[in-house]
A and B are shown apart, each in its own frame.
Chain A
Amino acid sequence: MAAGAPLITFDKVWKSYGHGEARVHALAGVDLAIRRGEFVAIMGPSGSGKSTAMNIIGCLDTPTAGTYSFMGVDAGRLDRNRRAMLRNLYVGFVFQGYNLLARTTAAENVELPLIYRGVASRERRDLAMQALAQVGLVGREHHTPAELSGGQQQRVAIARAIVTRPTLLVADEPTGNLDTARTHEIMELLTKLNKELGLTVTMVTHEADVADYAERTIRFLDGHVASDTVNVEVA
């Protein structure tokens, strides 16, 4: 892949559900390109197609029609297990509800993706510690989610997302459950990871001030890209 070539390309991507009269198009021929190292906020009202787009970007879902290519690979045509492999190698996920395994320590949660990659136990532990250090959670590695605050849990989730050194971070309303102070901490952390590691970040959010951390904002409406703007302040 040539440098500067898009990491992510949507080429007339459709995503439809149902049949006949009841057929609904969550995405209706979306064209989109995101380059390596970008920090993109995706916005839009409920039902606009932003979540569907995010699922396709994260290789969790496939388009009904059109082409989605990720790192030059036609990811929309891959089977479940190949997409799982792609996610494991190149994508990190951060969710609104943290989605950590309950009653499992922070370190073990962070190690999880490495288990599916077949990394040896000792190395897993070391990488998990590094990732936890990157998100500022040294000393909390043996706490379970129940013993951590919301902000801390989201940091663990971010550590889990970056422990595999992914190319892309997919964040679905990462600050949706957090208060303002915590929100800014998490956003600064994501910005730092974007700048320092060159991590491409795509983030769905409702909140304009959260979107302001991103260099670029894509707004969805009724299955189309309504606007695609560069945030001058950040860029």
Chain B
Amino acid sequence: MIWETVRLSLRSIRRNVLRSFLTLLGIVIGVAAVIAMLTIGSGTTQKVKADISKLGSNLLVVRAGRPAGPGGPGGLDQVVRPLAEKDLAALVAHLTGARAISPASQKQVRVIFGTESLTSGVTGTDSAYLDARDWKLVSGRPFSDSETRSGTGVCLIGETVRQQFFGAGDPEGEIIRVNRTSCKIIGLLEPKGYTGFGQDQDNVVLMPLHAYQRRIAGNRDIDNIYIAADDRTPTSELQPRVEDILRDARRITPDRESDFGIRDMTQIADAMASATTTMTGMLGAVAGVSLLVGGIGIMNIMLVSVTERTREIGIRLAIGAHEKHILIQFLVEATVLSLLGGIIGILIGLALAGLASVTLTIPFAPSPAVILLAVGFSALIGMVFGFFPALRGARLDPIDALRHE
């Protein structure tokens, strides 16, 4: 019986190809928009997560100054006491559960080789930095401990810097000038590409912290301390330990707030990801509105269909169809129609998302759950919006219906 009805409805959809197609269009566009939005959205979320994990996963970043609170940027009411080498030493001595602890001070500095110049992010750090940030060398070697201690003029450069100065050539052993001081290249960093925020992660120069402090910054400050947690320690557990050690090292009495902040990159990654998820949800909801419009289109056409086929309904009722038979017939027709629209919409939506993933270089992340949901939802729309017209058909008086011209 139900198969019979499905066949019947397919036939009636086929009879009015153009009209059926136009009716479908609303659902097709709605479903395609929802699918494309959600698929592109979850691709973006994946991309953002991946980008942030490029900054370093399981990473804590300590910086001087109170963390920004709800009252605006912190630390304005007092002079910021910078991080110092004794803070770093205290962490190295007492912190457990860390894989790597590394200081870093950064500045945008003009770098010159021959007649070429480039403004690069120059970082003063030590040999643990590569481990903390999870960066790798393509060639060369990291700083030795003695180079770090003595502040020798050696550096590691990123891919962008190499291309700018040496093209395809080998930079190792060459001397570049970084802000009036000479620096010998001892290694090349693995290319990392751009972050999701458009920052070139390969336009960097790393040099020993002491060399940076003496020759570039002109002070003994440390801007950041990077702490990478080991595999067994979640950053959320590591963070209070870091805070205790630093408060102790910086002699902050219990009645006072910390004058430094600890950022958890994992938390930031989660926050960013949840922000994109929210955005995706909102865009999906907007697209969902077009589904509603599509549903109204289905209702409209089903009303027309019921009116047009009044005589047919009369014949069916006369020869013994019950109300429910007529109801089911039109309900199935509306459902098949919108389901068809849903399936076409899913295909178009996935195609759009695929196209977007190529042009925006984000991962193509179709979700079976979303697709299933779209199928279910479009069927539901057919049922909901088909119900009223179907009921109207089913309630017709057979005598009047047979008389209908």
Contacts and interface: CB of A to CB of B under 8 A. Distances in A.
Interface string A77-99: 00011001101110011010001
B321 interface: yes
Nearest to A101: B312
B15 interface: yes
Contacts of B249: none
A18 interface: no
A81 B315 contact: no
Nearest to B318: A93
Interface string A16-57: 000000000000000000000000000000000000000100
Nearest to A102: B312
Contact of B315 (A58, A61, A89, A99): A99
Interface string B339-373: 00000000000000000000000000000000000
A95 to B, nearest CB: 7
A81 B321 CA distance: 8
A93 B401 CA distance: 15
B399 interface: yes
Contacts of A61: 399
Interface residues of B, number: 20
A115 interface: yes
Contacts of B184: none
A137 interface: no
B72 interface: no
Given A99-B402, A115-B4, A118-B1, A60 B312 contact: no
Contact of A60 (B1, B311, B318, B325): B318
A113 B320 contact: yes
B316 interface: yes
A61 B315 CA distance: 14
A192 interface: no
Given A88-B320, A99-B315, A55 B399 contact: yes
Contacts of B398: 60
A164 B318 CA distance: 13
A121 B395 CA distance: 28
Interface residues of A, number: 27
A189 interface: no
B1 A84 contact: no
B317 A84 contact: yes
Contacts of A112: 315-316, 319
Contacts, number: 55
Contact of B322 (A81, A103, A121, A164): A81
B323 interface: yes
Contacts of B314: 99
A87 B318 contact: yes
A174 to B, nearest CB: 14
Contact of A116 (B311, B312, B322, B402): B322
Nearest to B314: A99
A113 B324 CA distance: 15
Contacts of B322: 80-81, 84-85, 116
Interface string B290-330: 00000000000000000000011011111111111100000
B319 A93 contact: yes
A117 B399 contact: no
B275 to A, nearest CB: 56
Listed residue (A58, A61, A80, A85) with the most chain B CB atoms within 10 angstroms of its CB: A80
Given A61-B399, A103-B15, A117 B323 contact: no
B319 A87 contact: yes
A101 B315 contact: yes
A87 B320 contact: yes
Given A93-B318, A112-B316, A115-B1, A81 B402 contact: no
Nearest to A109: B315
Nearest to A58: B318
A225 B144 CA distance: 121
B402 A80 contact: no
B323 A116 contact: no
Given A99-B311, A101-B315, A103-B15, A116 B321 contact: yes
Nearest to B325: A116
Contacts of B325: 116
Contacts of A99: 311, 314-315, 402
A117 B319 CA distance: 10
B402 A95 contact: yes
A85 B320 contact: yes
A82 to B, nearest CB: 9
A103 B43 CA distance: 49
Nearest to B394: A80
Contacts of A216: none
Interface in B73-103: none
A219 interface: no
Contacts of A100: 315
A89 B275 CA distance: 64
A58 B317 CA distance: 12
Q: Which 7 A-B pairs have the closest CB atoms?
A: A88-B320, A113-B319, A116-B320, A81-B322, A87-B320, A99-B315, A116-B321
29 contacts: A58-B318, A60-B318, A60-B399, A80-B322, A81-B322, A81-B323, A84-B317, A84-B320, A84-B322, A85-B322, A87-B318, A87-B320, A88-B319, A88-B320, A92-B319, A93-B319, A95-B402, A103-B15, A112-B316, A112-B319, A113-B320, A115-B4, A116-B316, A116-B321, A116-B325, A117-B320, A118-B1, A121-B4, A164-B320
